[in-house]
Amino acid sequence: MLNLKFIQENPELVIEKLKKKHFDASVIVQQITALSAKKNETQACADQCKAEMNKISKEIGLLMRDGKTTEADVAKNRTAELKENIKQLDDSFARIDQEIFNIQVLLPNLPADIVPEGRTPEDNLVVKRLGEIPVLSENSVPHWELAKKYDIIDFELGVKITGAGFPVYKGKGARIQRALISFFLDEAREAGFLEIQPPLMVNEDSGFGTGQLPDKEGQMYHATEDNLYLIPTAEVPVTNLYRDMILEAKDLPIKNTAYSACFRREAGSYGKDVRGLNRLHQFDKVEIVQIAHPDHSYELLDEMVAHVESLVQKLELPYRILRLCGGDMSFTSALTYDFEVFSAAQEKWLEVSSVSNFESFQANRLKLRYRDEVTKKPVVAHTLNGSALALPRILAALLENNQTPEGIRIPKVLIPYCGFDVID
RNA sequence: GGAGAGAUGGGUGAGUGGCUGAAACCACCGGUUUGCUAAACCGACGUACGGGUCAUUCUGUACCGGGGGUUCGAAUCCCCCUCUCUCCGCCA
């Protein structure tokens, strides 16, 4: 959510910057400006009435104490009209406030200046591409066939016990999952992130704080009986740890990492893009989250990108880093880098990580602030997060790219975690 | 699932209708003292929104879990909701 004062003071800037996201903000900004003026006016009137009311009430108290009941009664009569005014002003204030909020949350975050122009994924800027794309033998196959061949992932069994998109990992398949999680967490810890093990379900307030609610309600599984939501990413519980907080400037940046299962309803997707591990309702991910001082958030974003890059490098996967264009960015992000690894058997790039700076967009909702060391005033912090990494597509690429007639080779860095060096 | 208790500022915790935005203590911050640390003493110490000087300041309003009500006036009384804790039951 953009800051209201900022919109009021910089209406043209907001409209101009959102053009890059192909969002026409002119009407909303105009409405907000008009409503805000009305809101301030209403508040000024209401406050004045209330001040008068408070004054009279105090006088009545004094009169009553002195036993001057008749004078007190006279004073009481004066309050009736005031009371009615206050009620009306408060009502219209609340109504305007709600109206502003309702349209304020429709505005996406402003893209950073270096965000490329563009509409579609094709317009994303490839900022780096590294690693050899392996040349596979004639009879190489996509990962869902490998999964079956070596009996390490059973999609049908998942369908039986739960439904499509809930795979069952077996034997070395289960062990490599566990290995990847441990590897990612260890790497994050060594990079300075504090490991968190968060709840997998969150309440409504948390869903609101990170922006899943109220709009994207359909993307989360909802346990209606208890009104709890299954988390779509560890970002939700971890970022919400700091909701409604005023942190000390010296405690920034806060760096957290968490492994969690992630649950996504992702209704309406179909086709070969969702085959196998490409898109799931439940998957595993290690997330990294930072709460940052605004002056440093972009340096920290670069650090996070470097961290994710080191992971894909250690896994020996060919990868590329994209700076997302305005049209392909998420609603909440100011700058996003996507990581894609090349899946040799499917012959396409698979997104495995998305690293973003949200600036103060999330923190505004979360009421997440820090105390400025000079002014001693609370200032909204910046939040960042990234996948480091999401497992399924990494696993898909590992299986496909490392397949040989003798079996699937495990990257060196994972062998100590797996306890085996080949899947055969 | 059953029964009871509770929700106050960063923390502990007082406060049953008016001088309480809130005692006291602790923590944090500034200062004095001190060879340093500690101790002691003094002071400051919530957030949000609005108004004026728009730089330091000044000022109004709201907020004691959330919502509604009673009253001239509510942290305090009434109603509803949410959450937490304790005991019992069940259970990894």
**Rg, Å, chain A Cα set:** 27
A273-314: pLDDT as tens digits: 678 888 899 999 999 999 999 999 999 999 999 999 999 999
Q: A377 CA to B41 C1', in Å? A: 29
Q: A192 CA to B45 C1', in Å? A: 33
Q: A23 CA to B67 C1', in Å? A: 36
Cα angle A43-A46-A52, degrees, rounded to a multiple of 5? 140
Give the whole-angstrom CA distance, residue A414 versus residue A131.
18
Give the whole-angstrom CA distance, residue A201 versus residue A381.
25
Q: Across residues A252-272, what is the average pLDDT? A: 83
Q: A201 CA to B89 C1', in Å? A: 26
Q: A280 CA to B39 C1', in Å? A: 62
ipTM: 0.86
Position A310 scores a pLDDT of 97
Q: A204 CA to B37 C1', in Å? A: 49
In 3D space, the residue among A331, A328, A321 whose CA is nearest the CA of residue A117 turns out to be A328
Give the whole-angstrom CA distance, residue A49 versus residue A43.
10
Beta-bridge partner residues of A383: A291
Q: A97 CA to B16 C1', in Å? A: 35
Are residues A210 and A240 in contact, defined by beta-carbon separation less than 8 angstroms? yes
Contacts of A52 by beta carbon, 8 Å cutoff, 6+ apart:
A82
Give the whole-angstrom CA distance, residue A102 versus residue A31.
11
In 3D space, the residue among A335, A402, A312 whose CA is nearest the CA of residue A109 turns out to be A335
CA of A50: nucleotide with nearest C1': B61
Q: A287 CA to B59 C1', in Å? A: 47
Residue nearest to nucleotide B19 (CA to C1'): A58
Q: Across residues A12-38, what is the average pLDDT? A: 94
Report percent pLDDT > 70 for chain A.
Answer: 98
A350-397: pLDDT as tens digits: 999 999 999 999 999 899 999 888 788 889 999 999 999 999 999 999
Placement of tokens 């055969």 in the chain: A424
pLDDT reading at A272 higher than 80:
no
CA of A58: nucleotide with nearest C1': B18
Three-state SS at A20 = helix
A228-242: pLDDT as tens digits: 899 999 999 999 999
pLDDT reading at A213 higher than 90:
no
CA of A49: nucleotide with nearest C1': B61
pLDDT reading at A405 higher than 80:
yes
Q: A209 CA to B71 C1', in Å? A: 38
DSSP 8-state symbol, A99: H
Q: A56 CA to B79 C1', in Å? A: 28
CA of A44: nucleotide with nearest C1': B50
Supply the mean pLDDT for chain A: 91
Position A263 scores a pLDDT of 93
Please report, as a single letter, which amino acid is at residue A284.
Answer: D
Three-state SS at A170 = coil
Q: A11 CA to B9 C1', in Å? A: 36
Enclosing H/E stretch for A189: helix A172-190
DSSP 8-state symbol, A413: G
CA of A73: nucleotide with nearest C1': B72
Q: Across residues A246-275, what is the average pLDDT? A: 82
Q: A201 CA to B4 C1', in Å? A: 29
Placement of tokens 């990992």 in the chain: A169
Strands (E), A162-304: 168-169, 194-196, 201-202, 222-223, 228-230, 245-248, 254-263, 282-292
- Chain B bases closer than 7 A to any CB of the protein: 18-19, 47-51, 56, 60-62, 72-73, 83
CA of A226: nucleotide with nearest C1': B82
Position A390 scores a pLDDT of 95
- Note the Cα A98 to chain centre separation in Å: 24
Residue A268 burial by CB count (10 A; 0-12/13-18/19+): exposed, middle or buried? exposed
Three-state SS at A109 = coil
A42-66: pLDDT as tens digits: 999 999 999 999 999 988 888 887 7
CA of A65: nucleotide with nearest C1': B18
pLDDT reading at A270 higher than 70:
no
Reported pTM: 0.92
A125-142: pLDDT as tens digits: 999 999 988 888 888 899
Q: Across residues A34-48, what is the average pLDDT? A: 91
Contacts of A285 by beta carbon, 8 Å cutoff, 6+ apart:
A233, A234, A259, A260, A262, A387, A389, A390, A391
Which protein residues, judged by their CB atom, are less than 7 Å from any atom of strand B?
A 4-5, 36, 40, 43-44, 46-48, 50-51, 53-58, 60-62, 64-65, 76, 79, 83, 226-227, 246, 369, 371, 375, 377-378
* Backbone angles phi and psi of A7, in degrees to 5: -65, -45
Q: A197 CA to B58 C1', in Å? A: 49
CA of A52: nucleotide with nearest C1': B60
Q: Across residues A397-414, what is the average pLDDT? A: 94
Cα dihedral sign, A90-A95-A97-A98? positive
Residue nearest to nucleotide B60 (CA to C1'): A47
Name the packing angle between helices A26-65 and A69-104 (round to 10°): 160
Could you give the residue ranges of the DSSP H alpha helices within A269-370? 297-314, 361-366
Residue nearest to nucleotide B61 (CA to C1'): A47
Position A72 scores a pLDDT of 81
Report percent pLDDT > 90 for chain A.
Answer: 67
DSSP secondary structure letters along A71-91? HHHHHHHHHHHHHHHHHHHHH
CA of A43: nucleotide with nearest C1': B50
Out of A101-115, A183-197, A268-282, least confident range: A268-282
Three-state SS at A118 = coil
Residue nearest to nucleotide B28 (CA to C1'): A248
Position A292 scores a pLDDT of 93
pLDDT reading at A268 higher than 60:
no
CA of A80: nucleotide with nearest C1': B72
